[in-house]
């Protein structure tokens, strides 16, 4: 299958899937099977502290958003656990330390720079440098190959012939 047809087919499948999901969502809400938002704490100040801590923690299911923004079951459970620990009198630092002890530095949305996370911080820059070096070497090799490539006598005669025709017109 040619690439353009494959792309068109893939786009059509994605549009159909999105339409199916869009129509299924309201039906689930009407039948009462959709998940309700977790209840907020009675104390708005406590809820603000929960969300402040939740902004510092990565959702282990979604991995690209905080547990404050995630609707995954694990994120809801972790927010509830934070709420319970705050009610029990633990500090933000104690809660974050507990989460790191339990899930590792990966749970922190902004992990600290230390020996075990240096690749996480430096990795994108190292990959960028390697890609840039590979691109520079590739360009250099192509230029050298073009510079050293000589025309055969037949190719030179044909090029002169074409140039002469162009000048004549």
User: What's the mean pLDDT in 23-27?
Assistant: 44
* 125 and 95 within one domain: no
User: What's the mean pLDDT in 58-81?
Assistant: 90
- pTM value is 0.51
| Cβ-based burial of 78 (10 A; exposed 0-12, middle 13-18, buried ≥19) | buried
* 132 and 102 within one domain: no
Domain assignment present for 17: no
User: Is residue 61 pLDDT above 80, yes or no?
Assistant: yes
User: What's the mean pLDDT in 32-48?
Assistant: 62
Task: Give residue for tokens 């459970």.
Answer: 77
* 91 and 143 within one domain: no
Residues in the chain: 169
* 59 and 90 within one domain: yes
Domain assignment present for 30: no
pLDDT for res 110: 86
Instruction: Write down the mean pLDDT value for the chain.
Output: 80
> How far, in Å, CA of 63 to CA of 57, rounded?
10
Domain assignment present for 36: no
| Among candidate residues 87, 107, 127, the one where a domain is terminated | 107
Domain assignment present for 146: yes
| Among candidate residues 85, 107, 129, the one where a domain is terminated | 107
* 100 and 148 within one domain: no
* 123 and 83 within one domain: no
User: Is residue 79 pLDDT above 80, yes or no?
Assistant: yes
Domain assignment present for 18: no
| Among candidate residues 107, 131, 152, the one where a domain is terminated | 107
Cβ neighbours around 100 below 10 Å, total: 16
Query: How many domains does the chain divide into?
Result: 2
User: Is residue 34 pLDDT above 50, yes or no?
Assistant: no
CATH number at residue 98: 1.10.8.640
Lowest-pLDDT range of 38-47, 58-67, 144-153, 155-164 = 38-47
**Cα 51–Cα 53–Cα 55 angle in degrees, nearest 5:** 70
Of the pLDDT bands very low, low, confident and very high (cuts 50, 70, 90), residue 31 is: very low
Domain carrying residue 48? 44-107
């Amino acid at each position: 299958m040619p690439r353009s047809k494959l792309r068109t087919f893939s786009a059509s499948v994605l549009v159909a899937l999105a339409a199916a999901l869009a129509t299924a969502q309201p039906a689930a809400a009407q039948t009462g099977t959709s998940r309700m938002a977790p209840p907020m704490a009675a104390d708005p100040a406590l809820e603000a502290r929960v969300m402040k801590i939740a902004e510092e923690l990565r959702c282990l299911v979604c991995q690209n958003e905080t547990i404050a923004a995630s609707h995954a079951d694990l994120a809801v459970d972790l927010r509830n656990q934070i709420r319970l620990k705050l009610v029990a009198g633990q500090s933000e630092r104690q809660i974050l330390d507990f989460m790191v002890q339990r899930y590792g530095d990966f749970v922190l949305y902004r992990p600290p720079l230390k020996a075990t996370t240096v690749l996480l911080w430096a990795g994108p820059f190292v990959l960028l440098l390697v890609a840039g070096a590979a691109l520079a070497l590739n360009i250099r090799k192509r230029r050298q190959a073009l510079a050293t490539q000589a025309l055969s006598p037949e190719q030179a005669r044909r090029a002169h012939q074409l140039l002469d025709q162009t000048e004549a017109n």
